[in-house]
Amino acid sequence: MRPTPFSRTLAALVVAGLAAAACGTSSTGGNSGGLAADQTLRFPIIDDIATMDPAHIILPTDVTIQANLFDGLYKFDKDLKEVPDIATDMPEVSSDAMTYTFHLRHDVKFSNGDPVTAQDFIYSWTRTAAANDSYSGVFDAVQGYDALTASPPTGTALTGLSAPDPYTLVAKLTHPEGYFLTELGEWAAVVIDQKVVKAQGEDTWWTTPQGLIGTGPFKMTQRTPKASMDFEPVANWWGGSTGALKHIHIDIVKDQTSQVKKYESGGYESVGPAYNYPDIDDMLRYKSDPTLSSQLTVKPFARTFWLAFNFKNGPFAGLDAGKLGREAFSISIDRNQLVDIACGHALQCDPATGGVITKGLQGYLGDGADPNAKFDPAKAKADLQQWDPTGSKTHGLVFFYSTDQRLQAIAENLQSQWKQNLGVTVQLQSTDFPTFNKQVRSQTFAMFKQSWTADYDHPQDWFDYLFSCSNARPGTTNAAAVCDPRIDTLVKQADVESLDQGLPNYTQANQLLVQDVATAPLIYDKRPFITKPYVKGVGANALFDYPWTGVSILQH
């Protein structure tokens, strides 16, 4: 497994903003379905990009933009299926699953005209691994990784990578890793131009249009830090058509209310892409207005929030000893009430009833499959009485969470429901995320908020960082210290198999989490979009925005 990317969890939780499209009016007028003369996509984001360097990208907004500028051997299509990109086909894999052979297209070029060869991938992957940042571990199974990332390094290369010819790349692993191919669809595995990096500067090459060179269908043409960015299609792009758009303009605008006002005055045509949400009051207004409601759509997002219990210390500790208490606190929650109050009448989230892995991803157990998510106050009280007959275990109980407006609403509703449905008074305590992160790792709180945002559609991304005790040590991302040897055995076997082969074991491990009441999933996140009817192709699947190549502006 790759190193724990705790920083990416923070990044995934704090970003918000907008993305959109705008068009010019065709001289023919009307909305006949033809393309408008002005194919300009304009949208705001709340914060400027942090980096476009694939070795260091962690923020979802940065991921969205870079996906239109760079390519890897593979990518995920709109249905989250992994398909060839620069590779001609899926790899040849040795019988021991430790050697992967990739064949590259011969016609791929960077936007400056430089050809792409297997050596460019060796350079790019080695550079990302050596950066030892949040996603360097994509290559942790490749021979040479441990020496390259040691402190201090004892190696200078991913020695398992070789290029028998300019268009063949071979990767030798130290052990079978069934999810290795899936991770190669991530941004950390894209190819960059080593000539440009060396000429423009190792840390600054991406900061200017002259340096931000990729193989994707679009390129940067202008950038004013903390103000705006502009992009245009790459002429004669190796991948074929770049779609209808001719210009993309991005503003950095902090205030969400002003973003929607500009949308309504014609300055933007969509609010929602690039992981930047419109203000909840505006979403509610659009939902309730018959003339505006058709412009509002809501998409699933691969993030789950759950109630975590301390398995090591406190009243909920122990797989069996704390189980009735964990069940009582879970089934005493009316999740429909929770999302109505805390998520803008369910605009921002859905009740989590199918296990901890988010709906829409591989490993989801199914709607209503988690009995611990079924509201049953009578059984909850009976469980509580059997588990804590004197009230000593729940005396002074605290729910700990990171400071955030929506988390505050969630916490207050949970507190109210536990008082009403269990007769237990739970104190609330919040703090900033870095402090929260440090304190939950110390395992001093009995009950706290936890969440996870998937990187890719594979159950390994959840288990190896959160619930497989042999991989996710207590005190890291496994802050709850969940340790069930049966889960570890299932996950260990599944991790070395292909997803098709390993999925039954992952599913069984997920069912054990339910049996253990290891978590109490609360909500599955959603992403709202406000889009003009003449803008087509703006949207997202559970993980990623749809590419700019599929966006068009119709006559209007």
pLDDT tens digits, one per residue of 385-423: 999 999 999 999 999 999 988 899 999 999 999 999 999
The helix/strand count (H/E) of the chain reads as 16, 20
Q: Hey, what are 216's tokens?
A: 């994707």
Residues linked to residue 535 through DSSP beta bridges, in sequence order: 553
Task: Tell me the average pLDDT of the chain.
Answer: 91
Region 3-17: what's the mean pLDDT? 37
Contact in structure between 192 and 71 (CB atoms under 8 Å): no
**pLDDT given for residue 476 in this prediction:** 83
H-helix segments, 178-232: 180-183, 194-200
> What is the C-alpha to C-alpha distance for residues 160 and 225, in angstroms, rounded to an integer?
39
Q: Check pLDDT > 70 for residue 31.
A: no
**pLDDT given for residue 499 in this prediction:** 93
Q: Check pLDDT > 80 for residue 359.
A: yes
Which residue in the block uniquely carries the two structure tokens 């998937």?
A: 454
Question: Mind listing the pLDDT tens digit for each residue in 119-159?
Answer: 999 999 999 999 999 899 999 999 999 999 999 999 999 99
Cβ neighbours, 10 Å, residue 201? 13
- CA distances for 152 relative to 30, 122, 132, 146, 432, angstroms: 65, 22, 12, 11, 33
Q: Tell me which of 21-30, 201-210, 327-336 is least confident.
A: 21-30
CA angle, corner 291, sides to 266 and 549, nearest 5?
50
Strands (DSSP E) along 26-152, which ranges?
Answer: 39-45, 74-76, 82-84, 92-93, 99-103
Region 20-40: what's the mean pLDDT? 57
> What is the C-alpha to C-alpha distance for residues 275 and 12, in angstroms, rounded to an integer?
9
H-helix segments, 163-232: 180-183, 194-200
**pLDDT given for residue 525 in this prediction:** 94
**pLDDT given for residue 279 in this prediction:** 86
Residue 246 CB partners (closer than 8 Å, separation 6+)? 39, 40, 232, 233
Give the sign of the dihedral formed by CA 43, CA 48, CA 52, CA 54.
negative
User: pLDDT band at 34, cuts 50/70/90?
Assistant: very high
Strands (DSSP E) along 433-501, which ranges?
Answer: 447-453
Region 475-492: what's the mean pLDDT? 93
Cα atoms in the 13 Å half-sphere on the side-chain side of 302: 24
Q: Hey, what are 424's tokens?
A: 């237990």
Q: Hey, what are 16's tokens?
A: 């918000």
* Closest of 15, 24, 52 to residue 273, by C-alpha: 15
Kind and range of the H or E run holding 34: none
Q: Which long-range contacts (CB under 8 A, 24 or more apart) does 152-159 make?
A: 157/126, 158/122, 158/125, 158/126, 158/129
> What is the C-alpha to C-alpha distance for residues 513 and 239, in angstroms, rounded to an integer?
44
Residue 304 is classified by DSSP as E
Name the burial class of residue 252, with classes exposed (0-12), middle (13-18) and buried (19+) by CB atoms within 10 angstroms of its CB.
middle
Q: Hey, what are 205's tokens?
A: 């090459």
**pLDDT given for residue 272 in this prediction:** 84
Quote the crossing angle between the two packed helices 405-422 and 335-342, to the nearest 10°: 150
Contact in structure between 168 and 102 (CB atoms under 8 Å): yes
Kind and range of the H or E run holding 90: none
- CA-based R_g, the chain, Å: 24
Quote the crossing angle between the two packed helices 377-387 and 323-331, to the nearest 10°: 150
Q: Hey, what are 188's tokens?
A: 């950390």
Region 249-259: what's the mean pLDDT? 92
Q: Hey, what are 85's tokens?
A: 């990109």
Q: Hey, what are 395's tokens?
A: 């005396």
CA angle, corner 144, sides to 55 and 196, nearest 5?
35
User: pLDDT band at 33, cuts 50/70/90?
Assistant: low
Region 170-174: what's the mean pLDDT? 98
Contact in structure between 467 and 146 (CB atoms under 8 Å): no
Q: Hey, what are 144's tokens?
A: 């040479």
Q: Check pLDDT > 80 for residue 10.
A: no
Q: Which domains does the chain show, CATH number per domain?
A: 1-69+216-280+531-556 (3.40.190.10), 71-198 (3.90.76.10), 299-527 (3.10.105.10)
CA angle, corner 457, sides to 371 and 275, nearest 5?
95
Q: Hey, what are 359's tokens?
A: 């709906």
Identify the three-state secondary structure at position 119.
Answer: helix
Question: Pairing mode, if any, of strands 519-531 and 349-351?
Answer: antiparallel
Identify the three-state secondary structure at position 26.
Answer: coil
Region 324-351: what's the mean pLDDT? 95
Residues linked to residue 42 through DSSP beta bridges, in sequence order: 249
* Closest of 15, 141, 167 to residue 460, by C-alpha: 141
Express as a percent the part of the chain with pLDDT over 90.
84
Which residue in the block uniquely carries the two structure tokens 């007959």?
A: 389
Q: Check pLDDT > 90 for residue 38.
A: yes
Identify the three-state secondary structure at position 65.
Answer: helix
User: pLDDT band at 12, cuts 50/70/90?
Assistant: very low
Position 336, amino acid: N
